[in-house]
Structure 1
């Protein structure tokens, strides 16, 4: 936040009396929450490398009175912060990994700061609500599936609800993500002089080219609910040497895990066709557990939307925007199969910039992004308060 800019605060004027304490609690630490968001943004760390980020977030929670477990669930950059001894356990989910090459272009700095603020806002209410409040720090959302590893260790089994917010170019109440498989494809051929002895070589890069053509043709027969996309990371080192190695990283997405499995096998066939045509060998390695579709909890979503109206956010219940960031894949979908969950999107007024663009990374520390931190913290806390009192 630059000098002279006024920190956004939740106005109490339009809030019911029962909500003013929560708003005051968020406003009281608003400067610190925005500072956390900006600090994470300034020092981005990619999946599985978020050591400074996890420490920074957990240290702030420790100062707020939470008990910290880190590492957590066998993951060095995961943590759990816990406060209260109530019988009803609720969790706010923090993400904090950045994207390779473009930093916080998905705004995970905002997600983490909002989760901290939401948990802090409920500190004085935990006893009254019979609640145990947690923040679970989940690494490697960007292609590593950190939450899925934590699920396997039972980290979410005891939670009655898990909630988070995500920044985007528009408000959206419901997460509608694709299930996704992340994988690398490696072709191995045989090097040779490309002019003098081409007949002695086996071109691994040709195998990838054939596979890409086959995938392009396959798309005509794929359902509209699927996506296939990838990049070539290595494909030879010199134009006069037939490449003996080629590696690409690919995603297959689909409406749910069942459709994903069927689509993945068809795409795998395209890569096998490339190997067969070029005479190369092939290895396919899934680099993350598969992300699932998302099950939105209707009660939590309704409570969130009502609270959002009081701070001037229309959460697009009718999903009129459609096809936007709310369709992006997330391992929070796997959490939604374990416990009640929501994953609303809050606008940071970034258009024409959208997630995973460098311009969105710049927008993730704008005044609108800082507002999303403050309002996201308040809305998560207010939603949990309503849920526990219902």
Structure 2
């Protein structure tokens, strides 16, 4: 690749897209406690928002990669944004009918558009510069992502959750007729924000339409990988092990993103817990900023994974053995670590796979299915242990153990069997 090329403009466009990813990801995090109150759901039922948001990554990542090969990056991005706009508008009939199923369909449609965008954006950012600085570029994208998340949290939480505690109290003493009126009014609050989002997606699509994004071609894609040519994508152990690492890594973000539900289970009032997601985003934003400064100049991607795994394990134990707001803070602090692990694992897993780069990126993107699975597990543990919700954070222990292994040894496994 010609590193002298000026990729500033396409990176800005990618930054806007990662901002969009942040907006929608953290909007979903707000919808979980919002639907729990407005639709009177259990923690497990409310977690289906995450299932609808992320299951499409597992189903459509590889088909989306093939689709982009046909239509190209630019058209794929525009189509993805329009699909997201349609999904956002579906919130109108969902809110008016108060049907959880329609809400989930709307979220799923939005996520299909997100898959198209991310399938294009992640490998684009990966191959636009040196592999050893992938985590740094991912750090910049992560900052844009979390900036979108912070703004969404501040706006959405103030609109949707500011009176959630009061609504819950009123529902407990309301008659059936009064309850219907309260819930109808409460759920209607989601309509205007999603109309705005639909318009925002269209504006970004128009911006991309009139832009000049080059169809970047990784110079390695048409070359044989170093050493003997591999027979398939599965012939790269460090990639396969990296896919597992990234899948487990998702549980960290999921636990942090569900800090509102965790705080509620610990008896923390909504007036306090509704700010937890904003705190988590702030920690993550600081982490991504540190990522761009430290990697790769002062800290290698491999060492970042090891250090974060060890620190995360300690923080998880502190969260388990403490109570109330203190326990939540130890959980929230792990958002700082997730800012380092995602980009670092991606960079270690995708290196030197040549013509399999796009397919490898699609496999890594499929791991976002963990964002659909982990919330259900997290919520179920809380529901089954109402007297000891701290048990839910222990799901992070095996995650950190595996990340430590991958950063220490897994990323170096070049072949499944030793070559003689």
Q: TM-score range by the shorter chain?
A: under 0.3
Whichever structure has more strand as a proportion of its residues is: 1
Whichever structure has more helix as a proportion of its residues is: 2
Rg larger in 1 or in 2?
1
